[in-house]
Chain A
């Protein structure tokens, strides 16, 4: 694969494992074992079986007729919102719990922003009977309250992150601190393609099922494996990387990644990392990062908790730098309007994260007959409160 990780954990200049010595043994254990574990036939069989019978995969590729009319192209929705627990996050959580068990771990920690990754992790821990602790920013606990209750009902302990911006970045810091203090028996299920190597590659592999299925489904539906466009929203970038993965080497397929502009890229309240970020180191990897001239991480803003993160995964930073994918951004208002439009044209209420990707359709110029796949990364149940307040329903 041309855009994959090298043996040192880098994508061009991005990636690596910038971690304190306390985390080294954990990360090194993962690095030396992850490929042999996930390529093992036994692992694959269990992973595939759970994705099929428990998650409900393959997720449908839905030809959105009214969207297609509106945008003058064949718009396909890759329905990750129909997965068990309501988003793509479960693909990675299943993969990592099976890996953690093979590493003999007894306890799972995770960070979460929108709560979707926390719910997915709590779910797989319940499934396997393993202790689960989820760190979540205090602000996110408020704006994604239903997911906090879901995690508790699933038996997880939810710990508020009260430092810094009290959102996803700080939840990640707290999870890393927990891991430092529990170096032997605990596995950290990171929820996106971020963190020290091998996480970005490992999570991308677990999420790559999205594009793997899409290719087959497109062939069935259109007679062609390759679409003209593939689109997805980017927080840390896991649904986008899963959606792009098997198209990366097909250079004719245009990849569009949609970041959260918040109140506008220039407003000071934004999470559009490729526009506002510079190269730096966050959460163990060298990547693009929103920061001050002095190298302090800038607190991002987006109405969408899942996109409210000051960095992106190192592979995205690389795809951006070498121009393999196009990075664009969508404001809060544009996203919420797109969420409403999708609800009323297609009867699908999307997560606000996903609504960012949908909003980008308004700005695209397609040719008739173009096939366009957009990743519907999650459903909007968790966001009803935000939608209701915004539209005064």
Chain B
């Protein structure tokens, strides 16, 4: 045995206490930053929020009035993005996970998905601007909800693909084999066994993707057009809440109104986060009860 000097032991102990204190402080700091942001934005914003604020149109570029068109724009955009991206994303995940044999091509697809996820949203926006707004402008209406949504689809596809793949992978192989061994087709097995078990994870990923669309600004700055008018079709220009916040803060300098929008955004994100975990638990319980 190595002889241990008592004051060495004390030093080791002291090191540990010091280190653990620092680590705890880092965690506390992170939580504090979050709280500071949330509380500050809410306290500045809540005083602005009223029925009129939520349901009126903006005046003088958003420095006065309400945010109704931005709420409508956000809903349209989110709805359209999810409507397109969710089936494609989940379908891709199913193909990669359940049908495609391992090999070069699969690695290429996976790598492409990863790169797509890593591309900064402003680059997605540039692409959307060139492709959807300009090149396909006759069909998308130029700067429009549709152009924004298609750009948003490209942006969140990797999120949905990755999370759905994870959810699909978590379904035990024993169950899949059990179903296939009964003489069912792959698709039947996927429909009846794999998807129901993966639904909680897939749903969560879609909800988180909704959050991502709500929070995104850069890509939509270049594709939505930022119109202040109430959109009636997907070919109209629009702005989302996040885009509205940015434009109001930067162009009118009225931070009070921007904080109002910010508070609405934070509430939305809170709801989405709660919904994601809550729904996950609920769905898991339903399928395994």
A and B: interacting chains: no
